[in-house]
Structure formats: structure tokens, C-alpha cells
């Protein structure tokens, strides 16, 4: 699996959009981009994933650059409950091994 690079931490004001970047410059053609988040003391929770096109669901939007070397997770209206560690990973469809990096600690402030 390709490696990912994320900023260690970010702050966001409550009610504003949180934009979390991820670099995955060595991504290969059959690897998807996934985002998970982990709230303290819980297991990671799936947010969204995509291959080439931008994706949106009830939780977030995922913007993938045309060359697929980076992506951005967007939480449109961050709340205090969105404070968590956010992980960006890339993996193949049937890949057994899935490697997580250190993630970005997002702190939403009142």
C-alpha cells in the first residue's frame, strides 16, 4: 500500500468547514483513498472513500486531485463532536494489508 502524509494537527472553529489534506504521491491506479476517524478510546470509524471522482456522503466530502497524488477531506460544518484523529489511507480493493499512518488530530473549538 502507498504511504500517506498528513499534518500532525489542525484547529477549526465550530460551524466552519474543516479541510484536512492528505498526500499520497505514490498511489497506484487500483488503490482507493479512504478516510477514517477515531474518537478517543474508540475504534476507528469509516467516513468516506473514493478512487478518482469526488465523493460526498452525509458525513463529509472527499476531493481527489486529478493526478490522484493528494486529497482533501471536508467536514462542511464542524461541530465539537468532530474533534478526533483523522486517518487517510490508500489501499487496493482486495489488499489484505492496510497500513495506517499517524493521522491528523483535528480540534474543533467553540
Partner 1 sequence: DVKVTQSSRYLVKRTGEKVFLECVQDMDHENMFWYRQDPGLGLRLIYFSYDVKMKEKGDIPEGYSVSREKKERFSLILESASTNQTSMYLCASTPQGQGGNTIYFGEGSWLTVV
For the CB of residue 34, give the shortest distance to partner 1 in the complex, in Å.
Answer: 7
Q: In the complex with partner 1, which residue's Cβ is closer, 67 or 93?
A: 93
Q: Burial, 49: exposed, middle or buried (Cβ in 10 Å; 0-12, 13-18, 19+)? A: middle
Residues that bind partner 1 (CB under 8 A): 32, 34, 36, 41-46, 49-51, 87, 93-94, 96-103
Q: In the complex with partner 1, which residue's Cβ is closer, 7 or 101?
A: 101
For the CB of residue 37, give the shortest distance to partner 1 in the complex, in Å.
Answer: 11
Q: Which residues contact 20 (CB under 8 A, 6 or more apart)?
A: 6, 7, 10, 35, 72, 73, 74, 75, 86, 88, 104, 106
Q: In the complex with partner 1, which residue's Cβ is closer, 1 or 82?
A: 1
**What is the rounded distance in angstroms from the CA atom of residue 75 to the CA atom of residue 19?**
7
For the CB of residue 42, give the shortest distance to partner 1 in the complex, in Å.
Answer: 6
Amino acid at each position: 500500500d502507498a504511504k500517506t502524509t498528513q499534518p500532525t494537527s489542525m484547529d477549526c472553529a465550530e460551524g466552519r468547514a474543516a479541510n484536512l489534506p492528505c498526500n499520497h504521491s505514490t498511489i497506484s491506479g487500483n488503490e482507493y483513498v479512504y478516510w477514517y476517524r477515531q474518537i478517543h478510546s474508540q475504534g476507528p470509524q469509516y467516513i468516506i472513500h473514493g478512487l478518482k471522482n469526488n465523493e460526498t456522503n452525509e458525513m463529509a466530502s472527499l476531493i481527489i486531485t486529478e493526478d490522484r497524488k493528494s486529497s482533501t477531506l471536508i467536514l462542511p460544518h464542524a461541530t465539537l463532536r468532530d474533534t478526533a484523529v483523522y486517518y487517510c489511507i490508500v489501499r487496493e480493493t482486495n489488499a489484505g494489508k492496510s497500513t495506517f499512518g499517524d493521522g491528523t488530530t483535528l480540534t474543533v473549538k467553540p
